[in-house]
A and B are shown apart, each in its own frame.
Chain A
Amino acid sequence: MRRLFSAPPAAADVRPALLSVVSLMMLLLPMLLMATSAQKLTGLTLSVPGPTESLPPELPGAVEKLSVQRVSGGYLVTASVRNTDVGSSIGDTEQKSFTEPTLTALQARLLSFKALDPSRDRIRLVPAADTPTDEVVRWMDTVRNSPEGPLFPKVVMEAAGVAP
Chain B
Amino acid sequence: MRRRVFRRSAASSAGGLSSASLAPMVDMMTILVIAVLRTWSTDAPAELPEEGLRLPLSSQEAPVNKGIVVDVGVDGLYVEGWRAGSATYWSDSDEVLIGEVYEALQLLGGDRITVRAHESAPWSLVGKVMFTAKQAGYPNVELVAVSRASL
Contacts and interface: CB of A to CB of B under 8 A. Distances in A.
| Chains A and B bind each other | yes
A145 B11 CA distance: 57
A46 B141 contact: yes
Interface residues of A, number: 54
Interface residues of B, number: 68
Nearest to A49: B139
A13 B131 CA distance: 69
Contact of A51 (B29, B135, B143): B135
Given A19-B22, A22-B29, A133-B119, A32 B124 contact: no
A48 B133 contact: yes
Nearest to A52: B137
B41 A37 contact: yes
Given A19-B22, A129-B123, A141 B141 contact: no
B145 interface: yes
A159 B26 contact: no
A28 interface: yes
Interface string A52-65: 01000000000000
Interface of B: 5, 9, 11, 17-19, 22-23, 25-26, 29-30, 32-33, 36-37, 39-46, 55-65, 72, 96, 114, 117-124, 126-128, 130-131, 133-135, 137-147, 149-151
